[in-house]
Every structure is written in C-alpha cells, then in structure tokens.
Amino acid sequence: MADPGQVDQAFPTTRWTETEAVARAIARGELEAANALLTRYREPLRAWLVRRRGVDEHQAEDVVHNFYLERILQGDLLIRADRHGGRFRTWLLRALGNFLVSTFRHDNALCRRPERLLALDALQVEAEEPGADTVDEVYEHDWAVHVLQAAEARMEGACREAGHPELVELLRCRYFRDPPMPYDELVARFGYRTPGQATHAVRRARGLFERALNGVLREEAANSAEVEELKRDLLNVLGRSS
C-alpha cells in the first residue's frame, strides 16, 4: 500500500453516477440497492452525532435510522442532491446536520428556552454553510476506518474460500502493526521456510487486500479512475489522522 505521505493532498471531486443509480433504484421500490452505500456511513454518522453534537448514543442511532428512512428511502433526498456540491460524504453530513436541527426543533417546539434556540440556530448555520471541501475530521476518520474494516472483512472471506485464512493475519502483522513485523519474525510465526517465501506471501496478501478495498470503494464509484481518486482520498485522511 502506498505511503500516505506520498499521496496528493488535494481532495477529489465526488462522482455521483453510482448515487444516481441508487436513487433510481429507490424510486422503483428497490430499497436494498442502497444497503451497501448507506451501511458504510451509518456508524460514522452516528459517531459524529455523539462525539460532535453530544447526542445520546441511543438517540443518535434513532436519528440516523430516521434520517435514512424519511429522507433517503422514503424521501427524495438523493434525487434532489446537488451533484456540484462536493464529495458525497460531505453532502451527506450536511444533510444529516439539517435533519438533526429539524428534528430538535420539532421535538422542542413547545418548550424552547432562548439559549436552546440560539444553539439550534448556530447548528443550522454550521450544517448549511460549509464549503464543498469542508468536512468534520472525526467523521472523515471514522469513514476511513469503516472502509478499511469492510475491505478486511471482504478479504477474510476470500482467503477462507481460497483455503489461506492465515493471509489476513499476515497482512495485519506486516502493514497494520506499528512497527511492522520484520520478515525474519514472519518466517518464524507463520512457518515459512525462507524470507523469500514470506515475501511472496506478503505480496499475495497485499494484492488480495487491495482487490477487496477496490471492491468496497467501487460501491461509491462509477469506474476504476474514480476508485483511485477515492483511494487517494482515503490515504489522505489516514495520513492526517496518524
């Protein structure tokens, strides 16, 4: 995998082709078409509500669930989405912020205090006015972690089917540990005969992970070029977080 420090620091522009396809499927009543896309963002959105907005964890789960149900699956949010508004996850976070304000205003319509109203107004401004490339770093980090976890789970399934489940742990030892496990230790731990054999296995594990990662990112992209843009974006986020 590429060194995050060597990645172009510019954020890519969101491609909306896949989002439009999901919107059309929802309009036809094929709600399951949105599962893969929405599942990836459920936990980052929930965590943002808890960590950045102070929403109770159980309430945050309800807010995200209702946002998906009312605005996306039963509403026309994806159809009305601004294709020129930047990256998809930036737009999605802004939409959730607006939904949160709407929900709080509705729930507290009869019992507002002045300071509560001011807080909601401030949240409304923050939700509606960020620039196209402005997004919460905590939310970005959670999205990146969720993408990596989804890719690792996909790789693990492929390795089990191929009869080489040890490749997942090999990948973790070499790439996800700090510092990475040296090759002589990999030889001893995994029972390879030579460092060269361990090197070959690491390359195979890396290739399987990259294939799994491409598959996960392809769910947000329309073609291979857009997958590469999302991958650069992912590495950029992880580089800022490290």
CA distances from 213 to 19, 147, 202 (A): 19, 8, 16
pLDDT for residue 193: 93
pLDDT for residue 158: 93
Q: From first to last of its 242 residues, what are the pLDDT tens digits of the chain?
A: 433 333 332 323 334 556 677 777 777 877 777 777 788 888 899 999 998 888 889 899 999 999 998 888 887 777 776 555 567 778 888 889 889 888 877 665 444 444 444 444 444 434 444 333 345 788 888 889 989 999 999 999 999 998 999 999 999 999 988 899 999 999 999 999 999 999 999 999 999 999 999 988 887 776 788 788 888 889 888 888 76
With 0-12 CB in 10 A as exposed, 13-18 as middle and 19+ as buried, what is 196? exposed
pTM for this prediction = 0.67
Choose among 63, 69, 66, 70: nearest CA to 48.
63
CA distance 101 to 75: 17
pLDDT for residue 72: 83
pLDDT for residue 13: 35
pLDDT for residue 230: 86
pLDDT for residue 180: 93
